[in-house]
Amino acid sequence: MAKTSEQMKTLVEDFIKITRVNYEDQTEKVREKSKIIEWQFHVGSNIIVSKNANRSDRIHINVNMRFPPEDAKLLVMKNPSFSKTIMEISEICTMCGIGHQWMKDGETIIGLALFSHVDEQILDRVSFHNAWDNVARISGHVQKILRSNFSGFSSSSTTDQTLDKSMYG
């Protein structure tokens, strides 16, 4: 039997509580800004778990990495290191089944979103934590790739802007 959005939210919150990682239910804040997201949790320092209104069959797990202006200046197509970085990140995401999307503000690349999902039919503790671990692990690898291809790249992610600039709304 299909799970409702509220059933999925309750399950996910229980799965998060098991880890004892700090989290915030951002559902009310998100609903004030967008009708696209039904509910959302901000977990730890940079994981977002959300349920989109247009997808009744899955929940989304993503990491939004924001780049400070000094790092964003390096992320331009004419920089050969950036082309190499794009290929390496694309390869690791493809191999691990993680989606990725470069975030832009006009022509400037301001961040990178890494994401996965768990279908509601298989939403249990193990599948949720496997998807969460996979996204978090790839996030660490991506930061290593960025630092290795750009000397002095801080690869810091600002989490206070995640709510305002979610990839989903």
Minimal CA–CA distance to 19: which of 135, 139, 132? 132
| 36-76 tens-digit pLDDT | 999 999 998 889 999 999 888 999 999 999 899 888 888 98
Given a contact cutoff of 8 angstroms between Cβ atoms, the answer to whether 134 and 27 are in contact is no
Cα gap 83→87, rounded to integer Å: 6
pLDDT band (50, 70, 90) for residue 155: low
Report pLDDT digits (tens) over 119-153.
999 999 999 999 999 999 999 999 999 999 987 77
80 or 157, higher pLDDT = 80
Comparison of pLDDT for 158 and 136, the residue scoring more: 136
Integer Cα distance of 27 and 76 in angstroms: 35
What the chain holds in terms of domains, given with CATH numbers, is 5-149 (3.30.1460.10)
C-alpha–C-alpha distance, residues 52 and 68, integer Å: 28
Q: How many CB atoms lie within 10 A of CB 30?
A: 22
